[in-house]
Structure 1
Amino acid sequence: MRALLVVNPAATTTSARTRDVLIHALASDLKLEVAATEHRGHARELARRAAQDRDVELVVALGGDGTVNEVANGLLHDGPDPEGLPRLAVVPGGSTNVFARALGLPNHPVEATGVLLDALREGRERTVGLGLASGTPGSEDEGVPARWFTFCAGLGFDAGVVGRVEQQRERGRRSTHALYVRQVLRQFAGEEHRRHGTISVHRPGGSGGAEVVPDLALAVVCNTSPWTFLGNRPIYASPKASFDTGLDLLGLTRLSPAAVARYGTQLLMSSPERGPHGRHALSLHDLSEFTLHSQAPLPFQVDGDHLGLRTSVNFTGVRRALRVIV
């Protein structure tokens, strides 16, 4: 099998020696081409070329969730075609690795490589659904390029935290869970819209109308569960979310200190059976399409990648988007 291995040399948890071991192991079973990313967006370019090269049957992403997201977007540049596109495989190398762990892969890159090789020998794969975020027609964000996401997207508070973490990493800070916690506190202290939310959810209704849910202060869109991990602890924002259904949405109408304490505790104590709940929490399951509008520009993120400010984002849940080795 001809395969392309896309390696992020800046991946948080893999050393050059570990990467060499993984490359040697994969090359023993595959006709392997190795490409190291050199700049942001490079993994997407490499995967796009692989998708256009009909001889490549498999693209392996060695890196964190950002690398995986870029590879998925490259493979899907011309749209979903599960039977015609190369399959995707993931070797986790980041600090969190939500997508890989949601697939049931070990969080250690060497162990995950062993599972990957066994899956290839045994022909184990699954077709997963993904989310697509795009500019809303008629809005000022209409021309913004569409972006696929594998496990989550967010408008507002959580995206602001992601942006703060990226700024710290650009200054040389390591991506640790302690860093995320500090940025959560700083984002909360500077949040302008925590008491009166500016986000509304619009989804198609009957007879050409639309159902509108207003006044959200936070909106998290999940394509799978868990939403993220705090160390080895899974955090469930939308426990019912799945690669086999549409998208799920968690919205909060208030981010007061009391509400944050309550829902933060619920997140820490969440389980596959129960996520955040209460009168200020909105949970929607298995959505095919909906739009988030904001009265003010808010931070936006997909798969932990900050994409700037948005006032309107259209979301589509696309079932059976990619084949993935598991």
Structure 2
Amino acid sequence: MRALLVVNPAATTTSARTRDVLIHALASEMKLEAITTEYRGHARDLARHAADSDDIDLVVALGGDGTVNEVVNGLLHAGPDPERLPRLAVVPGGSTNVFARALGLPNDAVEATGALLDALRENSERTVGMGRAEGTPGTDDEAAPARWFTFCAGLGFDAGVVGRVEQQRERGKKSTHALYLRQVMRQFLQEPNRRQGTITLERPGADPVTDLVLSIICNTSPWTYLGNRPVYAAPKASFDTGLDVVGLSRMSTVAVARYATQLLTSSPDRGPHGRHAVALHDLDQFTLHSKAPLPLQMDGDHLGLRRSVTFTGVRRALRVIV
């Protein structure tokens, strides 16, 4: 087996020594080429080359959810073709590692490498669905390229939080859960549309859902983690179904306190619920329109402002080693 290992040297929970140990462990079981990323988008470019080649069987992403997202976008650049494309494997190295943990992998890089090697020996794999988003023709976002996401996306409030966190990280702040919580509070205090949302959700064969302030799109569950605590925004979301959407039409202080408590105490059986909450399950395609440009995020990566985005749930998009 020939494999490409894409290594993010800035992965927050692995050291250079740990990465060397992992590389040697993987190389002992396969013909391995390890390449360290050097710029934003490099992992995508490497995976795209692997997808277009005829001799790479496996692409391993060593890094966080951002690295995994780039690798997936590279592998799927010409569309899903699970039987032809190289398989994907993940060694978690980020601060949260939602995609890897949602697959049931250990959150520790060394343990995950051991699990990966066991899975390869047993030829254990799973074909998972992915989400895809693109600007709707006829809007200001027509030129925005389509992009894949592995576990979540968001238009509005949560994407604004992601953007704030990225700004803080660019200033040298470490990515921690405390940093995220601080930015949630700042986003809430400065949110201009928290009492009257600007987002409308349209889907075939159903009435539109209007005046949303927050819209979270989930491709799996949990939505995220606070330390080792899973947070379930859309408990029914799965890699085996379409996309789930959770929306809020009001974000007053009382409403936010209620829904934040529901999120923090959520379970695999129940997520946020109430008069101002909207939950939609297993959607193949829908479009979010906004009266004003809003921030968009995918897999925790801030992608700028959008007025209109169409989301598609693509089932059985990629084979993953588990």
Q: Distance in 2 between matches of 1:161 and 1:197?
A: 16
Q: Of the candidates 297, 300, 307, which is equivalent to residue 304 of structure 1?
A: 300
Residue by residue over 1:286-322, the C-alpha shift from the partner in whole angstroms, topping out at 9 and shown as x without a partner, is 0000000000011100000000001100000000000
Match of 2:291 in 1: 295
Q: How does 1:1-326 map to 2 (within 5 A)?
A: 1-205=1-205, 211-326=207-322
AA aligned to 1:281 is A
How far 1:55 sits from its partner (Å)? 0.2
Q: Distance in 1 between matches of 2:54 and 2:267?
A: 42
Residue by residue over 1:203-253, the C-alpha shift from the partner in whole angstroms, topping out at 9 and shown as x without a partner, is 011xxxx53110000000000000000000000000000000000000000
Q: Distance in 1 between matches of 2:119 and 2:207?
A: 44
Q: Distance in 1 between matches of 2:139 and 2:220?
A: 28
SS of residue paired to 2:90: strand
SS of residue paired to 1:131: strand
How far 1:259 sits from its partner (Å)? 0.6
How far 1:118 sits from its partner (Å)? 0.2
Residue by residue over 1:248-273, the C-alpha shift from the partner in whole angstroms, topping out at 9 and shown as x without a partner, is 00000001110100000000000000
TM-score by length of 2: 0.99
Q: Distance in 2 between matches of 1:188 and 1:165?
A: 14
SS of residue paired to 2:73: helix
How far 1:137 sits from its partner (Å)? 1.8
Q: Which runs of 4+ in 1 moved over 6 A?
A: none
Residue by residue over 1:104-134, the C-alpha shift from the partner in whole angstroms, topping out at 9 and shown as x without a partner, is 0000000000000000000000000000000
Residue by residue over 1:145-189, the C-alpha shift from the partner in whole angstroms, topping out at 9 and shown as x without a partner, is 001000000000100000000001111111000100111011111
Q: Distance in 1 between matches of 2:226 and 2:265?
A: 12
Residue by residue over 1:51-71, the C-alpha shift from the partner in whole angstroms, topping out at 9 and shown as x without a partner, is 111100000000000000000
Q: Distance in 2 between matches of 1:36 and 1:145?
A: 25
How far 1:45 sits from its partner (Å)? 0.2
AA aligned to 1:247 is L
How far 1:143 sits from its partner (Å)? 1.6
TM-score by length of 1: 0.98
How far 1:139 sits from its partner (Å)? 1.5
SS of residue paired to 1:204: coil
| Gaps in structure 1 of 5+ consecutive residues | none
How far 1:18 sits from its partner (Å)? 0.4
Q: Distance in 2 between matches of 1:140 and 1:11?
A: 35
| Gaps in structure 2 of 5+ consecutive residues | none
SS of residue paired to 1:266: helix
Q: Distance in 1 between matches of 2:69 and 2:290?
A: 25
AA aligned to 2:288 is L
Q: Distance in 2 between matches of 1:21 and 1:232?
A: 25
What percent of counterpart residues are identical? 79
